[in-house]
């Protein structure tokens, strides 16, 4: 990561400023498993704190966090843990794909970034953002990018002193110049966003 940080700092003054102000960002690693995919789905469009609270309750009712065990649980029990109807449906779709082997998390390691995104987004409930976060944090691909991330857009807006928060499409276009180190650029932007708000 430090090599990527130096490369980005040399080519982009905004990222150089973030690096100088906030230092090396956390790596934010996650395990390559069903639990991680469920957790990322829970993080869709809600705060990280809220998603973590629900995830802890889901782990209580489903200790192994194995797809087959998750599918065997009554929906009412999972709803009582805090899963909304839509997110429960998405998580069940992922579990079914893993049980039926239409999705293999192990095989994702052998695929290109684009192939991983395509394989994950073929499952109902997994969009580009969820796939991008999994690619970045679980597979730790250096050029992964979480398209559609509000915190990234707001962080860039704040540091670039823009008049409006950039659209996700515009931010995706901007991020292209950070290739092949987009994951490190994202971590810098997230780190700045969290530091400004003093969140864990």
- Asked whether residue 131 falls in the same domain as residue 156, the answer is no
Query: For residue 158, is it left (φ>0), alpha (ψ between -120 and 50) or beta?
Result: alpha
Per-residue model confidence (pLDDT) at position 200: 52
- Asked whether residue 131 falls in the same domain as residue 85, the answer is yes
pLDDT digits (tens, 9 = 90+) for 56-74: 999 999 999 999 999 999 9
What average pLDDT does this structure show over 107-117? 97
- Distance of alpha carbon 102 from alpha carbon 98, whole angstroms: 6
- Domain interval for residue 176: 2-27+145-197
- Asked whether residue 88 falls in the same domain as residue 151, the answer is no
**pLDDT over 90 (residue 197):** no
What average pLDDT does this structure show over 107-124? 97
**pLDDT over 80 (residue 105):** yes
pLDDT digits (tens, 9 = 90+) for 126-178: 999 999 999 999 999 999 999 999 999 999 999 999 999 999 999 999 999 99
- Asked whether residue 14 falls in the same domain as residue 79, the answer is no
- Asked whether residue 89 falls in the same domain as residue 149, the answer is no
- Asked whether residue 44 falls in the same domain as residue 95, the answer is yes
Query: For residue 167, is it left (φ>0), alpha (ψ between -120 and 50) or beta?
Result: beta
117, 137, 157 — which closes off a domain? 137
- Asked whether residue 122 falls in the same domain as residue 38, the answer is yes
- Asked whether residue 53 falls in the same domain as residue 121, the answer is yes
User: Does residue 152 contact residue 14 with C-beta atoms inside 8 Å?
Assistant: no
**pLDDT over 70 (residue 189):** yes
**pLDDT over 60 (residue 199):** no
What is the number of structural domains in the chain? 2
Per-residue model confidence (pLDDT) at position 198: 82
Per-residue model confidence (pLDDT) at position 32: 97
What is the CATH number for 85? 1.10.340.30
- Asked whether residue 61 falls in the same domain as residue 107, the answer is yes
pLDDT digits (tens, 9 = 90+) for 148-160: 999 999 999 999 9
Averaged confidence pLDDT in the chain: 96
What average pLDDT does this structure show over 95-118? 97
- Asked whether residue 38 falls in the same domain as residue 114, the answer is yes
What is the CATH number for 166? 1.10.1670.40
């Amino acid at each position: 990561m430090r090599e990527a940080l130096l490369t980005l700092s040399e080519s982009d003054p905004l990222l150089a400023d973030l690096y100088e102000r906030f230092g090396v960002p956390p790596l934010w690693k996650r395990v390559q498993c069903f639990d991680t995919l469920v957790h990322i789905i829970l993080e869709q469009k809600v705060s990280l704190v809220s998603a973590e609270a629900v995830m802890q309750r889901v782990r209580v009712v489903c200790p192994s966090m194995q797809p087959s065990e998750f599918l065997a649980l009554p929906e009412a029990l999972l709803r009582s843990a805090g899963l909304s109807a839509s997110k429960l449906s998405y998580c069940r779709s992922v579990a079914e794909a893993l049980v039926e082997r239409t999705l293999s998390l192990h095989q994702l390691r052998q695929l290109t970034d684009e192939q991983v995104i395509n394989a994950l987004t073929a499952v109902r409930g997994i969009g580009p953002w969820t796939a991008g976060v999994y690619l970045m944090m679980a597979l730790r691909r250096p050029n992964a990018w979480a398209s559609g991330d509000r915190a990234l857009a707001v962080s860039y807006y704040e540091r670039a002193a823009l008049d409006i928060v950039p659209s996700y499409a515009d931010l995706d276009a901007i991020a292209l110049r950070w290739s092949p180190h987009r994951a490190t650029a994202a971590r810098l932007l997230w780190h700045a966003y969290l530091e400004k708000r003093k969140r864990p």
